[in-house]
Amino acid sequence: MSVASHLRIRVTEYDRKIHTFIPYYREMLSVAAGALQPRLTSPLIVDLGTGTGALAKLYLEAVPAGRLIGLDTDSEMLAVAAQRLRATQRPGVELKKKSFTRGALPRANYITAAFSLHHIKTRGLKVRLYQRCMEALHADGAMVSVDCMPPSHPDLHASTMQAWIRHLEGHYSSRDANDHLSAWAKEDRYFPLDQEVEMLRSVGFKVEIVWRRESFAVLRATKPRHP
């Protein structure tokens, strides 16, 4: 499904609207960019579901000699990303129309993903993706993931979802806010944070929770130098 029909917006509105849909969006992206802390001067970063390139641009700013490959299946989103990243005039930036769930991932020092992995619906497929990320990363490389990863306890889960609705109600009518969240919940799968950590550890990553608030989190999963 295209991003436009999933979010019920035009792609040209994405950058203006995404922070109305997702609380702390800009804060999380900037935390994710800061979480790379590269040791190499010219690391290769692969951004899964790069969308309009918001996070990719922050990475390029945070890592001045970094190279980047952005993968996405949505041509319209990639067209916006191409325009945004062209403006940075950085060499070593490549955008590819490709699914991150199919075929080998490019060898990388860092793999990043913001609000794209909730499109993976089953635990089996997600663990398989994390395994492929582990295989694609060089030793000491890391994956940074930003997404909705709610608490697993039902009471906390309910209160954090209420907080998300209140955020939406700051921008939309109560009915639209509830409609948005229930439409996304049908199409997306938000694994609880503890399950995300467990899935990443199950394939050998060392996981740090870099940032967490309500239903949202930024994780850094490092591939150990010596497994």
- The reply on whether position 115 binds ligand SAM by CB under 6 A is yes
What is the pattern of x (binds ligand SAM, CB under 6 A) and - over residues 181-210? Answer: ------------------------------
CB 119 within 8 A of CB 188: yes
Angle 174-187/154-169 helices, nearest 10 degrees?
A: 130
Distance CA 111, CA 133 (A): 7
Instruction: Tell which one of 101, 131, 160, 195 touches ligand SAM (CB under 6 A).
Output: 101
Size of the site for ligand SAM (CB under 6 A): 19
Distance between CA 108 and CA 115 in Å, rounded?
20
String of contacts with ligand SAM for each residue 48-87, x by CB under 6 A: -xxx--xx---------------xxxx--x----------
Q: Are 115 and 147 spatial neighbours (Cβ–Cβ below 8 Å)?
A: yes
* Contact status: 145 vs ligand SAM (CB under 6 A): no
Question: To the nearest whole angstrom, how small is the minimum distance from the Cβ of residue 225 to ligand SAM?
Answer: 28
Least gap, CB of 52 to ligand SAM (angstroms): 6
For position 116 contacting ligand SAM by CB under 6 A, the verdict is yes
User: Residue 148's closest CA among 180, 174, 173?
Assistant: 180
Minimum CB distance to ligand SAM, residue 116 (Å): 3
- For residues 23 and 163, is the Cβ–Cβ distance under 8 A? yes
* Whole-angstrom distance, CA of residue 136 vs CA of residue 2: 27
With binding defined as CB under 6 A, does residue 222 bind ligand SAM?
A: no
